[in-house]
A = this chain, B = another copy of it.
Amino acid sequence: MGARSFDYSLHVPYAHVDKMGFVYYAHYFVYFEMARSAMFRQVGLPYMQLEERGVLLPVVVSHCEYKKPARFDDQITVTIHNLELRGPLFHVDYRVRCNGDLIAQGYTDHVCMSHSGRVLKPAKELIRLVEEDP
């Protein structure tokens, strides 16, 4: 994904904002997933197709650093700026921006897993996605 990156934008729902008026921290991981799923759709590799081929991508590590809050109705943009294969792990890096500011950044690590729970080698579609710089 070297020179390119993938952007996904949404408006913060009221449902996600806590009594401080800020997006509750766990929702960023849902935004990360929405960006991942949108990226897979955009590159012509819907995640459903991977699952139907028997490849699940459960998260094994998740991490987020929060710099500034996002508020209700703010338009935020999640950028996937790096994809890597690190041995069996599919690694995804995210940045979240709001009104021009970096407000959060984080990553998720995934394994390729069969429906029966066996860890698989990275699916060829993922290798292509990472290597060919979609």
Contacts and interface: CB of A to CB of B under 8 A. Distances in A.
A80 to B, nearest CB: 15
A30 B11 CA distance: 13
Given A27-B26, A73-B47, A56 B13 contact: no
A63 interface: yes
Interface residues of A, number: 39
Contact of A63 (B33, B34, B63): B63
B61 A33 contact: no
A38 interface: yes
A62 B14 contact: no
A18 B18 contact: yes
Contact of A56 (B20, B27, B73): B20
Contacts of A25: 29, 58-59, 62, 108
Interface of A: 11, 13-15, 17-22, 24-27, 29-30, 33-34, 37-38, 41, 46-48, 51, 56, 58-66, 69, 72-73, 108
Given A25-B59, A25-B62, 6 more contacts: A14-B47, A20-B58, A60-B66, A61-B64, A61-B65, A63-B64
